[in-house]
Amino acid sequence: MPVPIIIDCDPGHDDALAIMLAAADPAVDLLAITTVAGNQTLEKTTLNARRVCTVAGITDVPIAAGCARPLLQPLAVAADVHGESGLDGPEFPEPTVGVVPEHAVELLHRIITEHPEPVTLVPTGPLTNIALLLTRYPDCAPRIREIVLMGGSTERGNRTPAAEFNIFTDPEAADIVFRAGVPVTMCGLNVTHQALATPEILARFEALGTELGHICAELLGFFASTYRTLWGMPHPPLHDPVAVARVIDPAIVGCADANVTVELHGTYTRGATVVDLHRYVDRPVNAQVAVTLDADLFWNRVLTAVTVLGERRGRGPVE
């Protein structure tokens, strides 16, 4: 039976591929896509979710817009990484996929409450919507099978020396999620930096021979250019699909139990995830933390998903 999931995202180049993987892989059943402000404003991330679903032919998954800003601090977007649109690179047609007239938190609550099976949440942006859901509707926590998120790191950050972007953007929300008592799996930079979109990977997308494969190669090409400029990294890491891959096949992403605490007060470390893999302190285990990635299995799965969507969509130009 496919695992029922909802993606909560801020597309975002890597969020775009996470949506495609979740929509096409038979191991998961994508029930909804909810959007949050992060990589860009809520208006732009929601438009981008609609763009991605339009070009990928994902027409049967509701999209709902959520929170426009973090819980306590002002929004600081990542235009330096994802461009002014949040999804710079390809030319997108006018989206034909709409949004439902329901706030993301209400949609999440309704689906989680009504679905016959416990639902897995896969947040790939700041955790604002999820924190609000858990605070406003604590009754739905037992109906959440697991929260498998992209965020944090066991080591370095990418927004400050200590903090990763999704956690740094809304540390209070992340703190609520890690302390909610719901099973959490954290896929952080320490593994996502092994999911590198090399030129060989880009060539595999182009070789699919579909418009969608070409769009993915263009997305990754833009992402590569900002990673080169900002960090001098030759190949960009495809962070967000790693969290989806963990749900699809736990063999792709190996995890270890640990306590994860979000630093809220550090002068230089606000938004850092303090991951106690070696049990230095007696804080209880509250998360499974990703520590290994099988990159070949990962890319095969992502490419298969884009193949399926691209062929379903047809080889002609995307309208």
Q: Which residues are catalytic?
A: 239
Does residue 8 belong to the site contacting ligand BDR (CB under 6 A)?
no
Q: Residue 65: is it exposed, middle or buried by C-beta count within 10 angstroms (0-12/13-18/19+)?
A: buried
Nearer to Ca ion, 49 or 260 (CB): 49
The residue sitting closest to ligand BDR, measured at its beta carbon, is: 165
Give the C-alpha separation, 164 to 239, whole Å.
Answer: 11
- Where does this chain touch Ca ion (CB under 5 A) — which range of 85-93, 117-125, 130-138, 208-216? 117-125
Q: Does 12 bind ligand BDR (CB under 6 A)?
A: yes
289 touches, from ligand BDR, Ca ion, none (C-beta below 5 to 8 Å by class): none
**CB closer to ligand BDR, 105 vs 150:** 150
Residue of 99, 93, 100, 104 lying closest to 38 (CA atoms): 104
Kindly tell me which of 7 and 308 has the beta carbon lying closer to ligand BDR.
7
Stretch that binds Ca ion, among 218-226, 229-237, 238-246, 270-278 (CB under 5 A): 238-246
Whole-angstrom Cα distance, residue 117 to residue 98? 26
Query: Comparing C-alpha atoms, which of 128, 79, 93 is closest to residue 226?
Result: 79
Which residue in 14, 88, 170, 218 binds ligand BDR (CB under 6 A)? 14
d(CA 50, CA 8): 13
Which pairing describes strands 28-35 and 3-9: parallel, antiparallel, or unpaired? Answer: parallel
Among positions 6, 7, 8, 12, the unique one binding Ca ion when judged by CB under 5 A: 12
Question: What is the residue whose two structure tokens read 């309704």?
Answer: 110
Q: State yes or no: residue 78 binds ligand BDR (CB under 6 A).
A: yes
Query: Binders of ligand BDR among 211-270, rule CB under 6 A?
Result: 239-240
Q: How far is the CB of 78 from ligand BDR (least distance, A)?
A: 5
Residue 24 tokens read as: 């096409």
Would you say 133 or 140 has its CB closer to Ca ion?
A: 133
15 binds Ca ion (CB under 5 A): yes
158 binds ligand BDR (CB under 6 A): yes
Tokens of 195: 């999911």
Q: What are phi and psi of 7, to 5 degrees?
A: -95, 130
Decide which of ligand BDR, Ca ion, none touches 193; Cβ closer than 5 to 8 Å per partner kind: none
List b or e across 127-146, with b for residues whose CB sees 16 or more CB atoms inside 10 angstroms.
bbbbbbbbeebeebeebbbb
58 binds, among ligand BDR, Ca ion, none (CB under 5 to 8 A by kind): none
Residue among 108 and 167 whose Cβ is closer to Ca ion? 167
Determine, following the binding rule CB under 6 A, whether residue 39 of this chain makes contact with ligand BDR: yes
Single out the residue of 54, 166, 185, 273 in contact with ligand BDR (rule: CB under 6 A): 166
> Given candidates 150, 176, 219, 255, which one binds ligand BDR under the rule CB under 6 A?
150
Q: What is the DSSP string of 154-182?
A: SS--SSSSS--HHHHH-HHHHHHHHTSSS
Q: Which residue shows structure tokens 């998120």? A: 149
Can you tell me whether residue 262 is helix, strand or coil? strand
Peptide bond into 12 cis (omega under 30): yes
267-296: contacts with Ca ion (CB under 5 A):
none
Q: Is residue 124 close enough to count as binding Ca ion by CB under 5 A? A: yes
Q: Summarize as ranges the residues that interact with ligand BDR (CB under 6 A).
A: 12, 14-15, 39, 78, 81, 124-125, 150, 158, 164-166, 239-240
